[in-house]
Amino acid sequence: MSREVFAQIRELKQKGQYVEAWNIGLPVFQNDIHNTFLRTSLFWVCFAAIKSVQTQVQNRQNKAPNQQEQQTVNAWINCISQLNLQVPCEELDYRFFNLFRGCGEHYEVYIQMLTYYGGALYQANDFQPYQSDKGESPSLVVRLARQASKAWLQHHGHWNLNLDSVLNLLNFALKNAKDRNKTWLQFDISRCLSSAGRYDESRKFALNVLKQKMSESWAWAALADTYFASNSSAAIACYCKGIREAHEPSFRIPMYFGLVKAYEESGEYNLASACLSMLIDVYSKNGWPLKSEYEDFIQRSWFDAAYIELFDFESHISKFADKALQFATEKMESAIGIVDSHHRSGKGFSIYFDIEKKVSARKGIFFGKGLPDIGTWVEVKLAIDDSEASALEVHRVDPQVSERVIYVEGDLKLNPKGFGFVNDAFIAPYLLSDFKDGENVSAIKVWDRDPKKGTPSWRVIKLAKLSSKAVTY
């Protein structure tokens, strides 16, 4: 190909005449499809054309393109497909995908491209999360997989999208991304499956999410959605639990709407009216316009805005929320134990029940401020799945009497290697700062297995100086 055609493409691209540049270069490329330089030149024409549209879209508050902008961008992505790029490639890298940051779910052909190529699209760096002063941001593969799921949830009713291709991309990211937190991928999988009516499959992912996010309203909403068609009582209980766990009134909106639909389905129109009134109140207090789907319910003949004044809504929510835990696991048990350590991350704690039974718990499932003090007795709701126990809720209880947990007093004996003993109980070095050999101390010890020797012995979990004016456990 002559230099004149390259020069024409470059000049037209610089002038913003992208269609003209494409039309000049494409016929030449079709006669010389192995011309790498021409392929690259035409790709950057497409890139510039898409960028010219996306710059306007991304400067908007809602980052939503209009119909003409969607058609234009979709057309340019179709042009890229004519270049027969061999993926992964330098052209389709983070610079290209950043053009669609925050709005990629609105472009059908773009999402089709992501699901068509699947895992073959990504290079080694695309699996690494981004590190910044503000913390970790999702890797490219996670971000694009979530874009695909968002597109499915919003548009699968009228777009040509294949759910299994979307799920394959989500599962690929779940398996291969190096991100520390991939809970959102499981959440997306659950929602996509629920939207397709594949509730049993969806529930498995929703339960996995919930075990990690027991104190998050959206996790309870995801589980409720999986029960909506088969067990309305379970769905209602989980929606109510989600309302109680919501950190802000706006977070309750999906649960309110779920209850509206559930109560309408069962013919409990007064309850549906109350839930819809609560939803409307959130929108009103924030000055937001109601979505059309909510407006449709307001027009229902059964809606009575006055019912909320006659109804103890908070009491109703609490009544059903208390039943939700039974639907969060195959089997649930209660057990009483003592907090024996805090996680180094500060985000959780360990609970000792017996020498062969311990469990870790996240800070968010403890009903109290912050982490419970070491030595606090607690009641734990345990999910028993596949013979493994995981904590669902933790409540403080009064001190208990146990042969495996004993309060002792004595003289502290320090070892030069850093550890110590009180009577026959071992004390780890991290508990001994500010303590001196021979000091009179009180301690809580538990009968535990020595991690090095594998034999049972007493281990101190909390230590205090007896000379202190007040020693509390």
Neighbours of 408 (CB within 10 A): 15
CB 330 within 8 A of CB 384: yes
Neighbours of 215 (CB within 10 A): 15
What is the predicted pLDDT for the residue at 383? 85
Neighbours of 23 (CB within 10 A): 11
Q: Of the candidates 210, 211, 213, 238, which has an alpha carbon nearest to the alpha carbon of residue 224?
A: 238
At a CB cut-off of 8 Å and minimum separation 6, what does 455 contact?
Answer: 449
CB 76 within 8 A of CB 50: yes
Record the tokens describing residue 367, joined without a space.
Answer: 């009903």
pTM: 0.81
Strands 440-449, 425-427: parallel, antiparallel or unpaired by DSSP? unpaired
Beta bridge partners of 425: 422
Q: Of the candidates 197, 203, 232, 199, which has an alpha carbon nearest to the alpha carbon of residue 220?
A: 203
Element (H, E) at 461: strand 456-465
- Report d(CA 215, CA 422) in Å as an integer: 39
Cα distances (angstroms) measured from residue 334 to each of 197, 374, 388: 33, 20, 14
| Residue indicated by tokens 């290209």 | 96
Report the Cα 351 to chain-centroid distance in Å: 25
- Report d(CA 308, CA 281) in Å as an integer: 11
CATH class of the structural domain 329-396: mainly beta
385 sits in the region (left: phi over 0; alpha: psi -120 to 50; else beta) called beta
User: Which runs of E-coded beta strand occur in 326-428?
Assistant: 332-342, 348-354, 357-362, 377-385, 388-396, 405-414, 420-422, 425-427
What is the predicted pLDDT for the residue at 257? 97
CB 195 within 8 A of CB 152: yes
Give the strand order in the sheet containing 377-385. Answer: 357-362, 348-354, 332-342, 377-385, 388-396
Record the tokens describing residue 310, joined without a space.
Answer: 């006659």
Report the Cα 293 to chain-centroid distance in Å: 26
Record the tokens describing residue 369, joined without a space.
Answer: 């401020």
Q: Of the candidates 74, 169, 186, 80, which has an alpha carbon nearest to the alpha carbon of residue 126?
A: 169
Name the phi and psi angles at 302, rounded to 5: -80, -15
Name the phi and psi angles at 400, rounded to 5: -110, 165
Task: Report domain extents, the chain.
Answer: 214-328, 329-396, 405-465
Calculate helix-pair angle for 183-195, 217-227, nearest 10 degrees.
Answer: 30
> How confident is the prediction along the chain (473 residues), in pLDDT tens digits per residue?
567 889 999 999 999 999 999 999 999 999 999 999 999 999 999 999 999 999 999 999 889 999 999 999 999 999 999 999 999 999 999 999 999 999 999 999 999 999 999 999 999 999 999 988 778 899 999 999 999 999 999 999 999 999 999 999 999 999 999 999 999 999 999 999 999 999 999 999 999 999 889 889 999 999 999 999 999 999 999 999 999 999 899 999 999 999 999 999 999 999 999 999 999 999 999 999 999 999 999 999 999 999 998 889 999 999 999 899 989 887 888 999 999 999 999 999 999 999 989 999 989 889 888 899 999 999 999 988 766 788 889 999 999 999 999 999 999 999 999 999 999 899 999 999 889 999 999 999 999 998 778 899 999 999 999 865 444 44
- Report d(CA 26, CA 43) in Å as an integer: 11
**Using omega within 30 degrees of 0 as the cis cutoff, is the peptide bond preceding 65 cis?**
no
- Report d(CA 375, CA 372) in Å as an integer: 8
Q: Of the candidates 120, 100, 98, which has an alpha carbon nearest to the alpha carbon of residue 109?
A: 100
Record the tokens describing residue 188, joined without a space.
Answer: 């997306």
Beta bridge partners of 409: 442
CATH class of the structural domain 405-465: mainly beta
CB 8 within 8 A of CB 21: yes
Q: Is 200 helix (H, G, I), strand (E, B) or coil?
A: helix
Q: Of the candidates 365, 323, 269, 471, which has an alpha carbon nearest to the alpha carbon of residue 351?
A: 365
- Report d(CA 144, CA 97) in Å as an integer: 8
329-396 against 405-465: fold identical: yes
Record the tokens describing residue 396, joined without a space.
Answer: 């403080």
Query: DSSP string covering 46-96, please?
Result: HHHHHHHHHHHHHTSSS----HHHHHHHHHHHHHHHTT---SS-SSSSHHH
